[in-house]
């Protein structure tokens, strides 16, 4: 079995692993991200929640050094992705909506190839790939061509592909799109297990409020390129609803993320 990487042994410690200050990105007259301030703590699962087109993906691209900001700053693991994108990519694993694999290679071959690209010797690469396939529940499918994998299988393989380089942070951009409910449940449980057991920091970008509520320690509500509120569900509810009102009094009603979401996004559930 592959030993647990040292970076995964770091349980949540003091400090922020992602720091964003005044981040702005414009495309002509359109402002995709507007003066964003955001911090993500080491070891937490942070949900970036908002409707499609809110600016979540643009923010992620700037965090990865794939798009340059017009103003503001980003630090990921202490590194500036604008000036050191390669350094950031060494520390961050990114799982987009659509995962790309060599469809004529097997799951095992794809993972081994990624491990080799990240500098692992052939024997170590094979051992790591097999351990991750077992962890994500695809050991029995290791010799199947990835072109024959279902959407859910590809996303799980994508998570293994992200983890094989032993990142400090994983960024998931709408990772559950097109997966059946049972597959979504298994995928979300795996994310929580990995974060809790190994201290991995997770940024989970989604428009599915119930998925975010299930797995995230804190949530940032994002719309029109702006972060409107941030906190755990309890603190967000306290910010928005009068705790002394009859509705919010103990025994009357417990507010959830759907109440908070509707407060900011009219008709929010149509995005689910």
Domains, the chain, in order of start with CATH, read 16-231 (3.40.50.300), 232-265 (no CATH)
Angle at which helix 151-163 crosses helix 107-117, to 10 degrees, equals 30
Q: Does residue 126 or residue 10 have the better pLDDT?
A: 126
Q: For 166-185, what is each residue's pLDDT tens digit?
A: 899 999 998 888 788 888 88
pLDDT of residue 63: 97
pTM of the model: 0.81
pLDDT of residue 210: 83
Q: For 53-91, what is each residue's pLDDT tens digit?
A: 889 999 999 999 999 999 999 999 999 999 999 999 999
Q: How far apart are CA 119 and CA 90, in angstroms?
A: 11
């Amino acid at each position: 079995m592959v030993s647990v990487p040292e970076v995964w042994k770091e349980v949540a410690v003091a400090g922020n692993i992602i720091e964003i200050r005044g981040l702005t990105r414009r495309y002509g007259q359109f402002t995709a991200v507007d003066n964003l301030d955001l911090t993500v703590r080491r070891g937490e699962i942070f949900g970036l929640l908002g409707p499609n087109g809110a600016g979540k993906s643009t923010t992620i691209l700037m965090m990865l050094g794939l798009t340059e900001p017009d103003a503001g700053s980003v630090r990921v693991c202490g590194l500036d992705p604008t000036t050191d994108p390669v350094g950031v990519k060494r520390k961050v694993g990114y799982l987009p909506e659509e995962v790309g694999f060599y469809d004529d290679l097997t799951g095992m071959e794809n993972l081994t190839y990624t491990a080799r690209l990240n500098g692992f010797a052939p024997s170590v690469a094979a051992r790591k790939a097999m351990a991750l396939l077992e962890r994500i529940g695809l050991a029995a499918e290791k010799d199947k061509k990835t072109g024959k994998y279902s959407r859910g299988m590809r996303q799980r393989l994508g998570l293994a592909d992200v983890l094989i380089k032993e990142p400090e942070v994983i960024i998931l951009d709408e990772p559950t799109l097109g997966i059946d409910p049972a597959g979504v449940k298994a995928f979300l449980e795996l994310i929580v297990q990995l974060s809790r057991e190994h201290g991995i920091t997770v940024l989970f970008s989604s428009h599915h409020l119930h998925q975010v509520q299930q797995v995230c320690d804190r949530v940032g509500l994002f719309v029109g390129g702006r972060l409107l509120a941030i906190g755990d569900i309890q603190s967000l509810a306290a910010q928005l609803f009068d705790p002394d009102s009859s509705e919010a009094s103990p025994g009357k009603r417990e507010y959830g993320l759907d109440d908070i979401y509707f407060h900011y996004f009219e008709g929010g559930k149509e995005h689910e």
